């Protein structure tokens, strides 16, 4: 397996601001996100494609993401919440949970830039929040994350 930052986080070899963790999944504040009040939920088992997850694990990942989206909405009050799997970036299945304050936030408009006359997307224009800021967001969201099936 090639290097995987999510596996490194799970193994404790890479620092992360953890929001939620159980035996199957972990949720963190992402390092690169259009809004720092976002989350990534991923299985602890290294599986590249989300569609290769066993159905019960995929449902658990999405359930934790749903609970986090409600928490983000309540604490930060964005216009809407976005959730989804785009399948690129880190070769480890993950579910994105992000606030939306503009209709184009679903395509991460803050990641768009023009190069050679073409619209491109990347992290180069995104500020990276401090570890302290990410830890603060994780603490706030960790406070009352609903556990799946305890609604």
Neighbours of 135 (CB within 10 A): 16
Going residue by residue through the chain, which has 151 residues, state the pLDDT in tens, using 9 for 90 and above: 458 999 999 999 999 999 999 999 999 999 887 788 999 999 999 999 999 999 999 999 999 999 999 999 999 999 999 898 977 788 999 999 999 887 666 555 556 667 787 766 666 666 778 888 888 888 888 875 454 544 3
- Residue the block writes with tokens 């969201």: 141
Tokens 């999510």: give the residue.
6
21, two tokens: 């963790």
Alpha-carbon distance of 149 to 128, in angstroms, equals 34
Whether the Cβ atoms of residue 13 and residue 19 lie closer than 8 Å to each other: no
pLDDT at site 67: 95
DSSP label at residue 50: G
Q: What is the pLDDT of residue 150?
A: 41
Rounded Cα distance between 122 and 124, Å, is: 6
Domains and CATH numbers, the chain: 5-142 (3.30.428.10)
């Amino acid at each position: 397996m090639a290097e995987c930052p999510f596996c490194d986080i799970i193994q404790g070899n890479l620092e992360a601001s953890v929001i939620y963790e159980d035996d199957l999944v972990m949720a963190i504040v992402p390092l690169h996100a259009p809004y720092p009040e976002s989350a990534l939920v991923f299985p602890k088992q290294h599986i590249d494609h989300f569609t290769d997850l066993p159905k019960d694990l995929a449902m658990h990942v999405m359930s934790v993401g749903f609970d986090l989206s409600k928490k983000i909405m309540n604490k930060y009050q964005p216009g809407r919440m976005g959730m989804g799997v785009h399948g690129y970036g880190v070769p480890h299945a993950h579910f994105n949970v992000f606030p939306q304050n503009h209709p184009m936030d679903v395509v991460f408009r803050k990641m768009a830039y023009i190069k050679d006359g073409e619209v491109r997307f990347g992290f180069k224009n995104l500020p990276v929040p401090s570890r302290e800021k990410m830890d603060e967001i994780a603490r706030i969201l960790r406070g009352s994350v609903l556990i799946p099936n305890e609604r």
